[in-house]
């Protein structure tokens, strides 16, 4: 049984890594081969493809699609950028904060696709304004002033990058100034895709690997007392995200702009023409959105309600609403229930303010009178055609295939066999095991899908933790976060590919910046798991629910 299961796991691992057929289609292989080889029945395998965790993911994605549909994410992004300011280092910080916040709730790919055109427009406007100022001064005969200004800009680490589309002549700019601008342009572009990957780690539904961990914990340890839920994950991963974001900003600023504290913050200094131009672009984009609409307000209300329901369901330190309002609620209600409930409401609540017209009917026009007493029917906040078109169904199947693998590995005895082979690792300190595994995953995920990486490795790490008697989350949590650290290659994750497609960043730029980003990521995760992860999840003990699972 173990060998049969291992055979299918190896075949799927090779297919996932090489992508000889689509990832989602590879994920369907357990539904065919496990029953044929006698590993598990079709009924057992197929029930994994839309289990509790997948329903949580689907519900969260539907709410995210409604935010995208009504451009609420763009309004939030522009508002934050206008507040933070437009000095290049602050602008970079603003782009990173907004991207990370949005990717906590909507997909990393959608966040990057929305942010990159804003970055492009701001940088183009700043550059064309700088060029206009230069030309005006030259026309006025202020040649010496221009030379001084160019020399200053060439040595100024906070200058803004050139985005040359063949429209701006190069003869008025020194080669050093152009290089500086190109460097800063690269930094601005890379900060968005990196912030999207970092931000997705902060919430349970933010990115695929997080959902894989939740599903596999429930699969491998059914009596785990809901140890990984939305609130506990957020308590662990959100501080880690903040730390990573700050260190990433410092690294990108030092790499592409140089670090000058006075010029970075520049409190009280007057805005340059370029900064005013950037601010005007953001204001113009904000004006295009107009005042907040009834639909946007409703979507925002639904979004906030879902987050509050997730946090207050089972906070841990007090009784949540699930236990207070429903008998046995803690046993029956999981995070998927509020996610699907809010998703249902999005298809019911109207997109326009409903008006009910009713007045005394006129005798002369009975048909008009009948029409007047009917309410104005309006479209709902979300249409099924939009969901069908935009929902990443491939990820849903990919998660399902992973859960089917984990379930079969546990029931066939493959997990237990792998655990026995790893018993010698018990002599190594747990923190060292966690750090090494995080590094391995961070390297492996550069070449493979993040979700596929987590799906393949988490059951193995779970078996290893059980065999050496350490808390399963001690190795599974850092590994899950590391699966999102795909910073080095354009093919590693969709946000990287989007940024690369704009043509400002070369592969080598991404590799040399991404290496340090991976080191920052592994360092932060190691720090997080050993500092606040230990007391939060009681990682110094080997839990009874893990012990009872082994005995079974």
Q: What is the pLDDT of residues 57-110, one digit of tens each?
A: 888 889 888 988 888 888 888 888 888 777 778 888 888 998 999 889 888 888
**According to the model, what pLDDT value does residue 301 have?**
93
Please, what is the average pLDDT of the chain?
81
Residue 160 lies in a domain: no
How far apart (Å, rounded) are the C-alpha atoms in residues 534 and 552? 27
Residue 152 lies in a domain: no
- CB-based burial, 522-537: b 16+ in 10 Å, e otherwise: bebbbebbbeebbebb
Count structural domains, the chain: 1
Report the alpha-carbon distance of residue 52 to residue 58 in Å, rounded.
Answer: 10
For residue 4, give its domain range: 1-133+175-353+378-546
Query: Is the pLDDT reported for residue 52 higher than 70?
Result: yes
On whether the CB atoms of residues 470 and 542 are closer than 8 A, the answer is yes
DSSP 426: G
| Average pLDDT estimate for 52-60 | 87
Tokens of 459: 């059951």
Helix axes 72-84, 88-103, angle to 10 degrees: 150
| Letter string b/e over residues 216-254, b meaning 16 or more CB atoms within 10 A of that residue's CB | bbbbbbeebebbbbbbbbbbbbebbbebbbebbbebbbe
Q: Quote the pLDDT of residue 346.
A: 93
Does residue 139 lie in a domain region?
Answer: no
In a domain, 159, yes or no: no
Within-domain flag for 80: yes
Q: Is the pLDDT of residue 514 over 70?
A: yes
Asked if residue 468 is part of any domain, the answer here is yes
Query: Residue range 300-324: average pLDDT?
Result: 85
Residue-level pLDDT at 143: 45
Domain assignment of residue 213, yes or no: yes
Q: Count the alpha carbons within 13 Å of 448 in the hemisphere toward its beta carbon.
A: 25
pLDDT in tens, 187-217: 888 999 999 999 999 998 888 899 999 988 9
Distances (CA, A) of 313 to 222, 229, 321, 336: 19, 9, 5, 11
Model confidence pLDDT, tens digit, residues 475-505: 999 999 999 998 988 878 888 888 888 878 8
Top-confidence residue, 315 or 513: 513
In a domain, 42, yes or no: yes
* DSSP H helical ranges for 333-429: 336-346, 366-372, 384-390, 393-412, 414-421
């Amino acid at each position: 049984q173990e060998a049969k299961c291992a055979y299918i796991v190896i075949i799927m691992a090779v297919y996932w890594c090489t992508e000889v057929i689509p990832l989602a289609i590879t994920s369907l292989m357990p539904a065919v081969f496990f029953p044929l080889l006698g590993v598990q029945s079709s009924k057992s395998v197929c029930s994994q493809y839309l289990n509790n965790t997948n329903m949580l993911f689907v519900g969260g994605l539907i709410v995210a699609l409604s935010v995208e549909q009504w451009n609420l994410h763009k309004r939030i992004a522009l508002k934050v950028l206008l507040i933070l300011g437009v000095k290049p280092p602050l602008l970079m910080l603003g782009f990173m904060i907004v991207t990370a916040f949005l990717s906590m709730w909507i997909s990393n790919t959608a966040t990057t696709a929305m942010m990159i055109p804003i970055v492009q427009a701001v940088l183009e406007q700043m550059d064309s304004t700088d060029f206009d100022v230069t030309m005006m001064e030259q026309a006025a005969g202020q040649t010496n002033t221009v030379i001084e200004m160019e020399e200053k800009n060439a040595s100024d680490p906070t200058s803004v990058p050139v985005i040359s589309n063949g429209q701006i002549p190069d003869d008025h700019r020194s080669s050093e100034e152009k290089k500086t601008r190109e460097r800063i342009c690269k930094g601005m572009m890379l900060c968005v895709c990196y912030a999207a990957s970092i931000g997705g780690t902060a919430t349970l539904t933010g990115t695929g690997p997080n959902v894989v961990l939740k599903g596999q914990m429930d699969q491998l340890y059914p009596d785990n007392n809901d140890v990984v839920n939305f609130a506990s994950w957020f308590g662990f991963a959100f501080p880690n995200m903040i730390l990573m974001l700050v260190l990433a900003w410092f690294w990108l600023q030092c790499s592409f702009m140089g670090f000058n504290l006075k010029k970075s913050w520049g409190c009280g200094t007057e805005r340059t023409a370029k900064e005013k131009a950037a601010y005007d672009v953001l204001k113009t984009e904000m004006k295009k959105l107009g005042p907040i609409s009834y639909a946007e307000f409703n979507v925002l209300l639904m979004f906030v309600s879902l987050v509050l329901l997730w946090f207050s369901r089972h906070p841990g330190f007090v009784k949540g609403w699930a236990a207070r309002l429903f008998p046995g609620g803690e046993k029956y209600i999981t995070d998927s229930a509020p996610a699907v409930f809010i998703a249902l409401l999005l298809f019911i609540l109207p997109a326009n303010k409903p008006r009910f017209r009713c007045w005394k009917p006129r005798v002369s026009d009975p048909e008009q009178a009948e029409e007047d007493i009917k309410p104005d029917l309006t479209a709902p906040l979300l249409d099924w055609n939009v969901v069908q078109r935009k929902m990443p169904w491939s990820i849903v199947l990919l998660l399902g295939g992973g859960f089917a693998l984990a379930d079969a590995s546990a029931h066939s005895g493959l997990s237990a066999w792998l655990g026995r082979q790893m018993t010698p690792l018990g002599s190594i300190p747990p923190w060292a095991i966690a750090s090494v595994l995080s590094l391995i995953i961070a390297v492996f995920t550069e070449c493979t899908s993040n979700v596929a990486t987590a799906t393949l490795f988490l059951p193995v790490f779970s078996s290893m933790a059980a065999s050496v008697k350490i808390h399963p989350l001690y190795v599974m949590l850092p590994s899950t976060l590391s699966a999102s650290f795909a910073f080095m290659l354009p093919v590693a994750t969709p946000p990287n590919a989007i940024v690369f497609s704009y043509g400002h960043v070369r592969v080598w730029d991404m590799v040399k910046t991404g290496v340090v980003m991976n080191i920052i990521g592994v360092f932060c995760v190691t720090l997080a798991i050993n500092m606040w992860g230990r007391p939060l999840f009681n990682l110094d003990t080997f839990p009874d629910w893990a012990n009872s699972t082994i005995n079974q």
